[in-house]
Amino acid sequence: MGDEQHAGERLVMDAGKITRALRRIAHEIIERHVDVERLILAGVHTRGVPLAHRLADIIEEIEGHRPRVGALELTFFRDDFRLRAKSPEKYTEMPSDVDESEVVLVDDVLWTGRTTKAAIDALMTFGRPRVVELAVLIDRNGRELPIRADYVGREFLQTDASDRIHVHLKETDDNDQVFLIRQSEKP
């Protein structure tokens, strides 16, 4: 995707803001997880996976040790699987020793909480972590489940259900940008 904007679309984070948010989140994770060797960053497909790798890179830069990184494909764990009825296009790849580890789920946007619940369900098929936390680049209002993020890049508390937040990452979209798209605004 290019850098062009459309009516109702507002750039809310550029590459610099995304990098600063991820550095802050990485520092917060390090503060809570003294033993980085016990840490697993589990990225939620699609954009949570590159975010987890970026966080691991930053943590390694600061601590000298890279946490393990996993990837979770949630298709079969979603509560709307019957409605979507499609085969997974991505993969799940987790370290084999999840038991007693400290896992931080990583995703791009937290909205209703349903994706996070599916991620927790998928993670539990690999074992029983000592603790599970959630890191998100964007946290917006509209929860349908009692789920909250432990690490947040940016919060949007004033969004309507029809609004959309589009996260673009260089690994998946050729650039780093976050857009808030107001559906109620007319061109």
What's the pLDDT tens digit per position in 116-137? 999 999 999 999 999 999 999 9
Confidence (pLDDT) at 80: 62
| Number of continuous H segments (helices) and E segments (strands) in the chain | 5, 8
- Distance between CA 28 and CA 80 in Å, rounded? 33
- Domain-embedded: residue 96: yes
Q: How far is CA 173 from CA 2, 84, 169, 176, 177, in A?
A: 9, 24, 5, 8, 9
- Domain-embedded: residue 109: yes
Model confidence at 86, in pLDDT bands (50, 70, 90)? low
For 28, the token pair is 């917060």
- Domain-embedded: residue 6: no
Q: How far is CA 113 from CA 27, 48, 78, 96, 167, in A?
A: 24, 15, 11, 26, 17
Contacts of 20 by beta carbon, 8 Å cutoff, 6+ apart: none
- Domain-embedded: residue 168: no
Total number of domains constituting the chain: 1
- Domain-embedded: residue 119: yes
Q: What is the CATH number of the domain that holds 63?
A: 3.40.50.2020
- Domain-embedded: residue 64: yes
Mean pLDDT score of the chain: 90
**Three-class SS state of 7:** coil
Residue-number span of the structural domain to which 134 is assigned? 16-162
- Domain-embedded: residue 115: yes
Confidence (pLDDT) at 96: 82
- Domain-embedded: residue 173: no
Task: Indicate the helix (H) or strand (E) that contains 18.
Answer: helix 15-32
